[in-house]
Amino acid sequence: MHRIKGIMARELAGHLPVSQTVLEDWLEIPPDSAMGDLALPCFRLAKELRQSPQAIARDIVSRIASSDLLQGAEAIGPYVNMRLRRDYACSLWLQAIEQDDAFFSSGNGAGQTVAIDLSSPNIAKPFGVGHLRSTIIGTAIANLLESDGFTTLRINHIGDWGTQFGKIIVAYHRYGDPERVRANPIQELNSLYVRFHEEEKTSPELEAQGRAAFKRLEDGQPDETALWQWIVDVSLADFNRTYDLLGTKFTAVLGESFYNDKMAAVVDELSAKGLLMLSEGAEVVSLEQVDLPPCLIRKSDGATLYATRDLAAALYRHKVLGADRLTYVVGGEQRLHFKQLFAVLERMGYEFATQCSHVAFGMMTIGGKKMSTRKGHIVRLQDVLDEAISRARSIIAQKSPDLTNAEEVAKAIGVGAVIFNDLKTNRLHDIEFAMDQAVAFDGETGPYVQYTHARACSVLRKAGLLAPGESNPTSVATWSEVLANEWTDKTRGVASGEESLNNKALDDVSTSKAFDDATLDDVSWELAKQVSQFSGVRQRASAEADPSLIAKQVLDICQAFNRFYHDCPILTSEGSTRTLRLALTDATRLTIRASLQLLGIGHPAQL
């Protein structure tokens, strides 16, 4: 309902003792489109007007009966149900889409920089489907923020430091085979780690050995450092293959080890600000005043902890990288940690602490259990992607044997299926991983959306508006001009500015034969309305850091388009009907395209 809601609210505000903004908030879309396009429930007006909601509704209907915006309004009980002038709304929307008149983007975040912490896998461990969530949710949120004008810093905070590296080093020395590790680094290193943990149960002295090895690494002993560096390198090389496939891009890849030399300064600063206190031999920052447990800064043996490291990282992002806001896309199990982290920043006197947020998400489980790298109880993302791509490949071979870039498309579809499956459900609850569901192509899936996009491209291609293999980022024809020519210039004048709304111009439009209900039949109109919702949904998705809103909206758009495609012949229709249907097809294509881009999914022009 791009802009229309606001215009209608302004008109209603002229008749009621309520502001335009409030009315815009009250206006809703009726549950059944047979009831109308917009509805105003009148319950909340009853008190102030001292009338029954039903009477108020009847009164409002009589006042707006002659509205330029409406073809009709009726009171059904306490609701005012309004039927929009389809020609007016549709022209407005098509023009907005063509000119990106705040339809696909905004400037809300202009001049601001936000750092997004995403993905953050652990070195020497497999990149599981659990890490997928952070990577793709984080990417989608970054895309959304960019569409709002923010500058984004996408930061991959790699887990490359900690006592477990001592264990891996010991394990490598005990049973590692350099050749085998080189051939298959992650899997081999992880199985060494798993084996170490099993042996640790019967040989407790191993733990001390691990700690000692990590101490040598911290002290910069050349042997341990070289081995660690090698492990980091081979792991990153492996992760990068997955990132390439997913299309994930980072502004910076900064491991935990990057902050080793920045820890002392943090401790000093805390100390200088008088925030550190001794407790049970450790140094902590008390957070009693905000009702949180204390934040551990330094262990009793003097070593720092991950909270210290995260503080160093937060300050680095703010001071050095220039981030005004920090967003952490990390699993919900770390809620408390981030609350503490932000609270400490606040106590340190940093105003940007209020601009920090933790975007939490549920765990990915298998058989109802948490995935565990230690037990080797994990699904490798690479395996899931491979499976999805291979299924896509065989469907393409069967349905589109002539496709020239079949392999490229298979990748886009397979990866798109996996990403969309995760993004459409961005709730906090845990996700039970099921291969068949993750790589499904039917129903509410990524491939369904991609298929619909390709269908729209195909129509436009056959109309001579798109070149083979292409899906242009902008309108492929200047629809508003075409429409204006066919629907008289007055339509255009009205559509381009709500200020120019007046009865005369609209009367002229309504007498124009080029545009009537037969042209904008129910199915076409339903599609137009769904497409028009995109701008509002995009805004909300960005503000709430919730990509699933985009996924759900694009599914509704696809469903409306596929019905339209089925019921309304496009290429074989004539005159203004054909023009309008092509315009709707192009608007749909652009909106699906933008949605897929925001979600970080490919949009092939042909499947």
Partner RNA sequence: GUCUCAGUAGCUCAGUCGGAUAGAGCAACAGCCUUCUAAGCUGUGGGUCGGGGGUUCGAAUCCCUCCUGAGACGCCA
> Please, which of residues 337-376 interact with RNA by CB under 7 A?
337, 362-363, 370
Tell me which of 305, 466, 527, 528 binds RNA, using CB under 7 A: 305
Using alpha carbons only, what angle is made at residue 574 by residues 573 and 580, rounded to the nearest 5 degrees? 80
Q: Judged by CB under 7 A, which stretch of 65-73, 132-140, 293-301, 351-359 contacts RNA?
A: 293-301
Min. distance of Cβ 478 from RNA in angstroms?
21
Q: Which is nearer to RNA, 492 or 529 (CB)?
A: 529
Per CB under 7 A, 36 contacts RNA: yes
Beta carbon nearer to RNA, 47 or 111: 47
- Per rule CB under 7 A, is residue 293 in the interface with RNA? yes
Q: Does 288 bind RNA (CB under 7 A)?
A: no
Q: Does 455 sit near RNA (CB under 7 A)? A: yes
The answer to whether 23 contacts RNA (rule: CB under 7 A) is no
With CB under 7 A as the contact rule, which of the stretches 179-187, 238-246, 296-304, 474-482 interacts with RNA?
Answer: 296-304
If one asks whether residue 459 binds RNA (CB under 7 A), the answer comes out as yes
570 binds RNA per the rule CB under 7 A:
yes
- What angle, rounded to 10 degrees, do the helices at 548-567 and 406-423 form? 120
For strands 151-156 and 113-117, give the pairing. Answer: parallel
| DSSP secondary structure, 429-484, as one string | S-EE--HHHHT--SSSSHHHHHHHHHHHHHHHHHTTSS-TT---SS-SS-HHHHHH
Under DSSP, the state recorded for 364 is E
Name the minimum Å distance from CB 586 to RNA.
Answer: 13
Q: Which residue pairs, CB below 8 angstroms and at least 24 apart, start in 239-243? A: 239/121, 239/127, 241/382, 242/127, 242/381, 242/382, 242/385, 243/135
Q: Is residue 278 within a helix (H) or strand (E), and if so which, with residue range?
A: strand 276-279
Q: Which of residues 537-566 bind RNA (CB under 7 A)?
A: 548-549, 552, 555, 558-559, 562-563, 565-566
Does residue 50 touch RNA according to CB under 7 A? no
State the nearest-atom distance from the C-beta of 487 to RNA, in Å: 22
Binding residues among 155-194 for RNA as defined by CB under 7 A: 159, 161-164
239 near RNA (CB under 7 A): no
Residue with token string 């298959």? 184
Q: Which stretch binds RNA (CB under 7 A): 5-13, 185-193, 393-401, 478-486?
A: 393-401
Question: What's the rounded Cα separation, in Å, for the pair 374 and 382?
Answer: 19
Query: 58 to 117, contacts with RNA by CB under 7 A?
Result: 76-79, 81
**Region 518-537 residues binding RNA, contact defined as CB under 7 A:** none
Cα separation, 21 vs 489, in Å, equals 31
Q: Does 334 bind RNA (CB under 7 A)?
A: yes
Residue among 2 and 424 whose Cβ is closer to RNA: 424
Spatial CB neighbours of 32, under 8 Å, sequence gap ≥ 6:
none
For residues 525 and 532, give the distance between their C-alpha atoms in angstroms, rounded to a whole number. Answer: 10
Type of residue numbered 279: S
Q: Which residues have a Cβ under 8 Å from the Cβ of 74 and sit 6 or more positions away?
A: 36, 61, 80, 81
Residue numbers 428-447 binding RNA by CB under 7 A: 428-432, 437, 440-445, 447
**Shortest separation between residue 494's beta carbon and RNA, angstroms:** 26
CB of 161 or CB of 342, closer to RNA: 161
Q: How many CB atoms lie within 10 A of CB 510?
A: 15
- Closest to 549 (Cα-Cα) out of 485, 599, 600: 599
172 vs 564, which CB is nearer to RNA? Answer: 564
User: Contact between 606 and RNA (CB under 7 A)?
Assistant: yes
Q: Residue 502, interface with RNA (CB under 7 A)?
A: no
Is residue 425 a contact point for RNA (CB under 7 A)? Answer: yes
Alpha helix positions (H), 1-107: 4-13, 20-26, 43-49, 53-64, 86-99
Residue 334 DSSP label: G
Q: How far is the CB of 170 from RNA (least distance, A)?
A: 15
Read off the tokens for 58: 């009847």
Query: Site for RNA (CB under 7 A): how many residues?
Result: 96
- Report 252-281 residues binding RNA (CB under 7 A): 256, 279-281
Chosen residue from 131, 309, 325, 603 binding RNA by CB under 7 A: 309
